[in-house]
Protein backbone atom coordinates (compact mmCIF):
# COMPACT_ATOMS: atom_id res chain seq x y z
CA UNK A 1 0.00 0.00 0.00
CA UNK A 2 1.27 3.46 -0.91
CA UNK A 3 0.70 6.16 1.70
CA UNK A 4 1.14 9.93 1.33
CA UNK A 5 1.28 11.98 4.51
CA UNK A 6 -0.96 15.04 4.11
CA UNK A 7 -0.09 16.52 7.53
CA UNK A 8 2.09 19.43 8.58
CA UNK A 9 4.65 18.36 11.22
CA UNK A 10 3.94 19.74 14.70
CA UNK A 11 6.88 21.58 16.25
CA UNK A 12 7.70 24.44 18.57
CA UNK A 13 7.00 27.83 17.04
CA UNK A 14 5.10 26.52 14.02
CA UNK A 15 2.68 28.84 12.26
CA UNK A 16 -0.81 29.05 13.73
CA UNK A 17 -3.92 31.06 12.96
CA UNK A 18 -3.32 34.65 14.17
CA UNK A 19 -4.24 34.85 17.86
CA UNK A 20 -4.33 31.08 18.44
CA UNK A 21 -2.14 29.53 21.17
CA UNK A 22 1.50 29.18 20.23
CA UNK A 23 2.91 25.66 19.93
CA UNK A 24 5.55 24.48 22.37
CA UNK A 25 6.93 20.95 22.24
CA UNK A 26 9.62 20.19 24.82
CA UNK A 27 11.29 17.24 26.49
CA UNK A 28 10.44 16.93 30.19
CA UNK A 29 12.06 13.56 30.94
CA UNK A 30 14.95 11.70 29.33
CA UNK A 31 16.13 8.11 29.30
CA UNK A 32 19.55 9.17 30.64
CA UNK A 33 18.17 11.09 33.63
CA UNK A 34 14.81 9.42 34.26
CA UNK A 35 14.89 6.04 32.60
CA UNK A 36 12.24 7.05 30.04
CA UNK A 37 11.54 9.94 27.68
CA UNK A 38 8.41 12.10 27.79
CA UNK A 39 7.54 15.30 25.93
CA UNK A 40 5.23 18.15 26.91
CA UNK A 41 2.95 19.65 24.25
CA UNK A 42 1.19 23.01 24.55
CA UNK A 43 -1.01 23.79 21.58
CA UNK A 44 -4.45 24.95 20.52
CA UNK A 45 -7.16 22.68 19.15
CA UNK A 46 -6.53 24.05 15.64
CA UNK A 47 -2.81 23.33 15.52
CA UNK A 48 -1.26 22.20 12.26
CA UNK A 49 -3.36 19.97 10.03
CA UNK A 50 -6.63 19.79 11.89
CA UNK A 51 -10.38 19.33 11.70
CA UNK A 52 -12.98 22.02 12.41
CA UNK A 53 -16.08 20.57 14.05
CA UNK A 54 -19.39 22.45 13.73
CA UNK A 55 -18.91 23.74 17.29
CA UNK A 56 -16.01 25.84 15.98
CA UNK A 57 -18.35 28.49 14.57
CA UNK A 58 -21.90 27.26 15.16
CA UNK A 59 -23.40 27.79 18.64
CA UNK A 60 -24.51 24.41 19.94
CA UNK A 61 -22.84 22.64 17.02
CA UNK A 62 -21.46 19.11 17.16
CA UNK A 63 -18.18 18.66 19.07
CA UNK A 64 -15.24 16.88 17.51
CA UNK A 65 -15.64 13.68 19.54
CA UNK A 66 -19.31 13.40 18.48
CA UNK A 67 -18.53 13.19 14.75
CA UNK A 68 -19.19 9.78 13.21
CA UNK A 69 -15.72 8.49 12.31
CA UNK A 70 -17.13 6.68 9.28
CA UNK A 71 -17.53 10.10 7.66
CA UNK A 72 -13.83 10.79 7.98
CA UNK A 73 -12.36 7.82 6.11
CA UNK A 74 -13.22 7.14 2.49
CA UNK A 75 -12.60 7.88 -1.19
CA UNK A 76 -11.67 11.48 -1.91
CA UNK A 77 -11.84 13.77 -4.90
CA UNK A 78 -8.87 16.14 -5.15
CA UNK A 79 -9.73 19.33 -7.02
CA UNK A 80 -6.79 21.08 -8.65
CA UNK A 81 -6.95 24.86 -8.56
CA UNK A 82 -3.30 25.90 -8.70
CA UNK A 83 -1.63 29.03 -10.03
CA UNK A 84 -3.97 31.34 -8.13
CA UNK A 85 -3.15 34.84 -6.98
CA UNK A 86 -3.04 35.85 -3.32
CA UNK A 87 -6.55 36.10 -1.84
CA UNK A 88 -8.15 35.01 -5.10
CA UNK A 89 -11.67 33.60 -4.74
CA UNK A 90 -12.46 30.13 -6.08
CA UNK A 91 -16.03 30.06 -7.36
CA UNK A 92 -18.21 27.10 -8.27
CA UNK A 93 -17.81 27.83 -11.98
CA UNK A 94 -14.04 27.45 -11.58
CA UNK A 95 -14.23 23.91 -10.24
CA UNK A 96 -17.61 22.49 -11.31
CA UNK A 97 -16.08 20.46 -14.14
CA UNK A 98 -13.92 18.59 -11.61
CA UNK A 99 -16.83 17.89 -9.30
CA UNK A 100 -19.12 15.88 -11.51
CA UNK A 101 -20.19 12.35 -10.57
CA UNK A 102 -19.46 12.39 -6.85
CA UNK A 103 -21.22 9.09 -6.18
CA UNK A 104 -19.25 7.14 -3.58
CA UNK A 105 -16.98 10.10 -2.77
CA UNK A 106 -16.67 10.75 0.97
CA UNK A 107 -14.79 14.05 0.90
CA UNK A 108 -13.48 16.74 -1.44
CA UNK A 109 -10.00 18.23 -1.01
CA UNK A 110 -8.91 21.43 -2.74
CA UNK A 111 -5.32 21.55 -3.95
CA UNK A 112 -3.99 25.09 -4.41
CA UNK A 113 -0.35 24.26 -3.54
CA UNK A 114 -0.46 27.21 -1.12
CA UNK A 115 0.99 24.80 1.44
CA UNK A 116 4.37 25.63 -0.10
CA UNK A 117 4.14 28.95 1.77
CA UNK A 118 3.43 27.39 5.19
CA UNK A 119 5.40 29.19 7.89
CA UNK A 120 5.58 32.50 6.00
CA UNK A 121 3.52 35.67 5.98
CA UNK A 122 2.39 34.83 2.45
CA UNK A 123 0.59 31.78 3.82
CA UNK A 124 -1.92 34.18 5.40
CA UNK A 125 -2.79 35.56 1.93
CA UNK A 126 -4.16 32.27 0.65
CA UNK A 127 -6.94 31.85 -1.91
CA UNK A 128 -10.45 31.41 -0.52
CA UNK A 129 -13.48 29.29 -1.36
CA UNK A 130 -16.74 31.05 -2.10
CA UNK A 131 -19.68 30.05 0.08
CA UNK A 132 -21.47 28.87 -3.07
CA UNK A 133 -18.92 26.05 -3.31
CA UNK A 134 -20.03 24.79 0.09
CA UNK A 135 -23.68 25.05 -0.97
CA UNK A 136 -23.12 23.05 -4.14
CA UNK A 137 -21.07 20.37 -2.37
CA UNK A 138 -23.73 19.96 0.29
CA UNK A 139 -26.39 19.58 -2.39
CA UNK A 140 -24.27 16.76 -3.84
CA UNK A 141 -24.07 15.06 -0.43
CA UNK A 142 -20.50 16.10 0.42
CA UNK A 143 -20.11 17.19 4.06
CA UNK A 144 -16.33 16.86 4.51
CA UNK A 145 -14.15 19.45 2.76
CA UNK A 146 -10.40 19.95 3.07
CA UNK A 147 -8.00 22.68 1.97
CA UNK A 148 -4.22 23.02 1.78
CA UNK A 149 -4.50 26.53 3.19
CA UNK A 150 -4.95 28.03 6.63
CA UNK A 151 -8.63 28.61 6.04
CA UNK A 152 -11.25 28.17 3.29
CA UNK A 153 -12.39 31.69 4.20
CA UNK A 154 -10.20 34.78 4.19
CA UNK A 155 -7.77 35.00 7.11
CA UNK A 156 -6.75 38.64 6.71
CA UNK A 157 -9.22 41.54 6.80
CA UNK A 158 -12.20 39.20 7.02
CA UNK A 159 -14.29 41.36 9.36
CA UNK A 160 -14.80 38.29 11.54
CA UNK A 161 -16.96 36.80 8.79
CA UNK A 162 -16.51 33.17 7.79
CA UNK A 163 -19.14 32.51 5.10
CA UNK A 164 -17.81 29.13 3.96
CA UNK A 165 -17.62 27.95 7.57
CA UNK A 166 -21.14 29.23 8.20
CA UNK A 167 -22.61 27.24 5.32
CA UNK A 168 -20.70 23.97 5.72
CA UNK A 169 -20.46 23.77 9.50
CA UNK A 170 -24.01 25.10 9.76
CA UNK A 171 -25.12 21.98 7.89
CA UNK A 172 -23.20 19.76 10.33
CA UNK A 173 -20.30 19.43 7.93
CA UNK A 174 -16.61 19.43 8.84
CA UNK A 175 -13.62 21.30 7.45
CA UNK A 176 -10.01 20.10 7.31
CA UNK A 177 -7.35 22.82 7.15
CA UNK A 178 -3.57 23.00 6.58
CA UNK A 179 -3.31 19.92 4.38
CA UNK A 180 -0.06 19.46 2.47
CA UNK A 181 1.53 17.19 -0.16
CA UNK A 182 -1.66 16.91 -2.21
CA UNK A 183 0.47 17.06 -5.38
CA UNK A 184 1.94 13.70 -4.40
CA UNK A 185 -1.46 12.01 -4.68
CA UNK A 186 -1.25 11.09 -8.35
CA UNK A 187 -3.99 8.45 -8.56
CA UNK A 188 -7.76 8.70 -8.73
CA UNK A 189 -10.07 8.07 -5.77
CA UNK A 190 -7.43 7.94 -3.03
CA UNK A 191 -8.59 6.46 0.24
CA UNK A 192 -8.16 9.35 2.69
CA UNK A 193 -8.27 9.33 6.48
CA UNK A 194 -8.71 12.57 8.44
CA UNK A 195 -9.32 11.12 11.91
CA UNK A 196 -8.99 13.67 14.75
CA UNK A 197 -7.79 13.27 18.29
CA UNK A 198 -10.75 12.46 20.55
CA UNK A 199 -10.68 15.76 22.44
CA UNK A 200 -13.93 15.58 24.38
CA UNK A 201 -16.33 18.46 23.84
CA UNK A 202 -13.95 20.57 21.75
CA UNK A 203 -14.40 22.63 18.60
CA UNK A 204 -11.64 20.90 16.66
CA UNK A 205 -8.56 18.71 16.90
CA UNK A 206 -5.26 17.99 15.15
CA UNK A 207 -5.30 15.07 12.72
CA UNK A 208 -2.78 12.85 10.96
CA UNK A 209 -4.22 13.04 7.46
CA UNK A 210 -3.09 10.40 4.99
CA UNK A 211 -3.96 9.35 1.44
CA UNK A 212 -3.67 5.66 0.60
CA UNK A 213 -3.48 3.64 -2.59
CA UNK A 214 -4.17 -0.02 -2.15
CA UNK A 215 -2.15 -2.51 -4.15
CA UNK A 216 -3.96 -3.84 -7.17
What is d(CA 160, CA 145) in angstroms, rounded to the nearest whole number? 21
DSSP label at 145?
A: E
Decide if 212 contacts 3 (C-beta within 8 A).
yes
How high is the pLDDT of residue 216?
60
The bridge status of strand 191-193 relative to strand 73-80 is antiparallel
Residue 117 annotated in active site: no
What is d(CA 66, CA 130) in angstroms, rounded to the nearest whole number? 27
Of 46, 56, 117, 165, the active-site residue reads: 56
With a threshold of 0.85, does the pTM exceed it? Answer: yes
Decide if 147 contacts 155 (C-beta within 8 A).
no
Sign of CA dihedral 87, 47, 63, 6: positive
Q: pLDDT (tens digit, 9 = 90+) per residue, 92-140?
A: 999 999 999 999 999 999 999 999 999 999 999 999 999 999 999 999 9
User: What is the rounded average pLDDT of the residues 170-188?
Assistant: 98
Decide if 11 contacts 212 (C-beta within 8 A).
no
**Smallest Cα–Cα separation from 7: which of 198, 203, 194?**
194
How high is the pLDDT of residue 215?
75
Q: pLDDT (tens digit, 9 = 90+) per residue, 2-56?
A: 999 999 999 999 999 999 999 999 999 999 999 999 999 999 999 999 999 999 9
Amino acid sequence: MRIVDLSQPVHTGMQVYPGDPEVTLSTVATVVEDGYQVASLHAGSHTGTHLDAPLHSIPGGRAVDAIDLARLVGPARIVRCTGLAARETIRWSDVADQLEDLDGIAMVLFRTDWSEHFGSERYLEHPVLAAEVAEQLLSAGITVVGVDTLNPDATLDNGDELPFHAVLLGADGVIVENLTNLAQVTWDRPLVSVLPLALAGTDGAPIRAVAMQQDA
